[in-house]
Chain A
Amino acid sequence: MAKLGRRGFLGAAGALAGAAACRTSRDSKKAEDPYRANKPPVPRERGARPGEERWVLTTCGLCRAGCSLRVRVVDGRAVKIEGNPESPVNRGGVCARGQAGLQLLYHPDRVPAPRRRVGQRGENRWQEISWDEAIAGLAAELSKVRAAGEPQSLVLLDGEYTGATHALWARFMAAFGSPNHVGHGCGGRAQMAQAVRKLTGAEGIASYDFEHSACVFLVGTGALESSPHAMGLACAMGRTPRPRVFCASPRLPGMATFVDEWLDLAPGTSTALLLGLAHVLVRDNLADEAALQTAAGFLPALDDSGGQPGLRARLLAEFSPESVASLTGVSAERLSHAAHELARLRPSVVAIDEEMADLGAAGAAILVNALLGSLNASGGMRLDRTRAFVYPPLQPDVAASAGLAAPPLDGREGRGASDFTEARLLALPQAILSAKPSAAKVLLASYSNPVYSKPGGTTWREAIAKVPFVVSFSPFDDESTAFADLLLPDHTFLERWDVVETGAALALRQPVVPPLRNTLSTGEVILRMARALGGNIARAFPWNTVREAALAGLSATTKARPSLLDDLQSRGTAERTLDAKSAVVVDVRSISWAPPSLPSDGVRFPFVLVPFRGPGYAEGGWRQLAWAAELPAVCNPWGQRIEISTDDARRLGIEHGDDVLVESSFGVLRAQVQVSLSVRSGVLGLPLGKEDAMAIVGSFVDEASGHWLASATRAQLRKVG
């Protein structure tokens, strides 16, 4: 019937299909490979073979723990961070944050080169300049200050506590003649340093030898989350049998299921709790008398003497578990039980969260450890008396002497006016704003971003804006950097050379890859700045490189231990041993146990805010550590959350995942609710890390120490919508 040839039709169809096939196959060849990372070019080290793989030993710089790392470098790019098994700090482990360090190195927000501000402050308009120009500009500004005879108007915010750069800064401030070398820490860490010094005369802060403890009593949750001691505790948990863990805190992280017993402590009452522990130890004769006696004069004020009631009497009179219970909310039985366990399972240690402590609590923790015989003992609390970096003393010139004699801006009281550990960061913004006792003319921020991470809301912003000349050394475009006049970007820790000192070890930090951007290590900047300033300052820094300067500072240490540098080079880390003579004399009379006075407006603000640093917390912001921000246990990646107890949630009709407004007298914060079984009723757990979390936390100050009281802000909660 029909004459239309089927063959022809099929043929045509076949041809079409064939054409289509050719097309796709050709296209797919052209398309770029979706399975391969298209890596941008990086600066190549001399002599590095293309395609070469190597492992570089270095030290983590994301917190103070000083974990030794092995970094895998392929083709000039760092691709993986692993722990160094040789390290006594981390025993081959690395924490979640440390792993994300690579994202810091390759972060898109890194400042590419030194910059000078061209627009208004905060406008974020910059002009890139050369390093020579930048350092000359800074030196000119500093010369002006010195020429005007007010070197004390130079203020340095220093976020590092140890290491070569910190030592060089201290030397620079002394040579320049400014007492205003202020540590970036404002919370318990500073209080701890103060307590250590007041009670024992030792320098620095405490570290813990969890690895050899049989029982660990934690006050606060830092060691369970992000404090530098978390790594030590985690390593200790790998031991068999593992230590028994107590934790006294208003909240327990939901993940910390390995904590054997949680004492739900009322916020701000850790001093009372610890003294209650001390009471039981003394009352039931559980104190380690042997340790007390062998170290003669260990606790000189233990017994009554010269008509003065001794510590024993005072503890027994004032801090019985029953009387303490009303304050802390921890029953007398549980407290006694904990004290007996601490005494039974030796060696045991009381460790205090450095972000939560007040001066009294820090002192009380030292006291309890002394009673347990755990001070500077295996498995106990370790108080460092030696510092690795020691420079020969300076002869300040006339201008510097005058400056150093001036009263420090932060109103610290301490031994020498330039005593770094006594500096009170929280007093600084007010002092700058009121220009009392003197005006701040130049502000340097090294490893410091106070606008972002310090309480006090907008005062920091205003204070920084008031300083005529602000220099930031941050490698990132951050909140404080936005107000700077000059940006001198530092290397990230993976590009720096440094020697890191921690309680347990010295560790080598060396560049893993050549600097990715046109950055310069801050130590190098100090040396070049000193040289540009000339005179006595230049003479104080006779070294050409940071490495040279650091080795000079270490010379005393290397003399005592000649193999140190070789050890560092070959193993990345060198253990520090306590010498037997390092028994500590604790004089408890120099500290007051009075509980800090907390503001109270329980009617309008029924909750107490307990700020904490979650596992993803990183100083300077977790946005730079994207992996840490997206940890699966963070219920709201990249968002703000707030922890509330099951009871409170039920009472307020709030469910897990609801959006709420948290309001304090300092501000309002929007957050997602995380209902938790392990949060004390009446407490809101506030994870820090997001930009605006700190804004609702008040900068309440502990009268005794001049430092921050973290858990003192009251708040209320409202459901959104």
Chain B
Amino acid sequence: MALSHQRHMQADMKCLTCHPGAEDQAEAQFPTVADCMDCHGKARGDHPDEPKVRAYAQQGAEIPWVRVDRLPGHVYFPHAAHVTLAKMKCEDCHQGILTATLPLSLPDLHQTMEDCMRCHRERNASNQCKTCHR
């Protein structure tokens, strides 16, 4: 499904609309078909992939989203703490997402531990190992 993050952002949507959880949980979630159908229940454009959403909804199936951005398993990254408490923007880390016209097929995160630690130092956040490691 050729979902364009750019198009959705241009439609003045917020990231949290489709990816709830980022503001109050550790992990951001993906939209269900029901979420999609809120807007795409009726055709909104002429994109050839748009009817696919309704096809999924009709079959009672969910869209098999693929999570491409994965931190190493021993890293803990709470979205809530960064989005809500530190007031960071999603695109601060997900750098290419605003201009992506196709779903990402490769990981979009390029930060290293040094980047994390620098930001934590600068913002006086805890740099204890167990703050971010699990």
The interface of chain A, by Cβ under 8 A from chain B, is: 33-37, 44, 46-53
Contacts and interface: CB of A to CB of B under 8 A. Distances in A.
A48 B61 CA distance: 11
Given A44-B62, A47-B34, A51-B28, A36 B21 contact: no
Interface stretch (B5-13, B39-47, B67-75): B67-75
B72 A51 contact: no
Contact of B73 (A36, A47, A48, A49): A36
Secondary structure call for the B interface = loop
Contacts of B60: 46
A42 to B, nearest CB: 13
A49 B29 contact: yes
Closest 8 CB pairs of A and B: A35-B73, A36-B73, A51-B29, A35-B74, A50-B30, A49-B29, A33-B73, A51-B27
Nearest to A51: B29
Nearest to B75: A35
Contacts of B30: 49-51
Q: Which of B21, B62, B67 has the largest number of chain A CB atoms within 10 A?
A: B62
A53 B34 CA distance: 18
6 contacts: A33-B73, A34-B73, A35-B72, A49-B20, A50-B30, A51-B67
A48 B72 CA distance: 25
Nearest to A32: B73
A48 B32 contact: yes
A82 B73 CA distance: 24
Contacts of A50: 29-30, 62, 65, 67
Give the size category of B's interface with A: 10 to 19
B95 interface: no
Given A46-B60, A49-B21, A51-B30, 6 more contacts: A33-B73, A34-B73, A47-B34, A48-B32, A50-B65, A51-B27
Given A44-B62, A46-B60, A47-B34, A36 B72 contact: yes
A53 B70 CA distance: 18
B67 to A, nearest CB: 8
Given A46-B62, A50-B65, A51-B21, A33 B72 contact: yes
Given A46-B60, A48-B32, A49-B32, A36 B27 contact: no
B26 to A, nearest CB: 9
B25 interface: yes
B32 A47 contact: yes
Contacts of B28: 51
A52 B70 contact: no
B12 to A, nearest CB: 23
Contacts of B32: 47-49
Contacts of A51: 21, 27-30, 67
Nearest to B35: A49
Contacts of A37: 73
A48 B65 CA distance: 13
Interface in B66-106: 67, 70, 72-74
B76 to A, nearest CB: 11
A494 B17 CA distance: 32
A49 B31 contact: yes
A36 B27 CA distance: 15
A493 to B, nearest CB: 26
A37 B74 CA distance: 11
Nearest to A50: B30
Q: Which of B29, B34, B65, B72 has the largest number of chain A CB atoms within 10 A?
A: B29
B22 to A, nearest CB: 10
Nearest to B66: A50
Given A33-B72, A35-B72, A46-B62, A52 B34 contact: no
A52 B29 contact: yes
A36 B62 CA distance: 24
A75 B67 CA distance: 12
A51 B65 CA distance: 11
A53 B25 contact: yes
B62 to A, nearest CB: 6
Nearest to B28: A51
Q: Which of A34, A46, A51, A53 has the largest number of chain B CB atoms within 10 A?
A: A51
Contacts of B73: 33-37
A52 B24 CA distance: 12
Contacts of B29: 49-52
A51 B32 CA distance: 11
A44 to B, nearest CB: 6
A49 B16 CA distance: 14
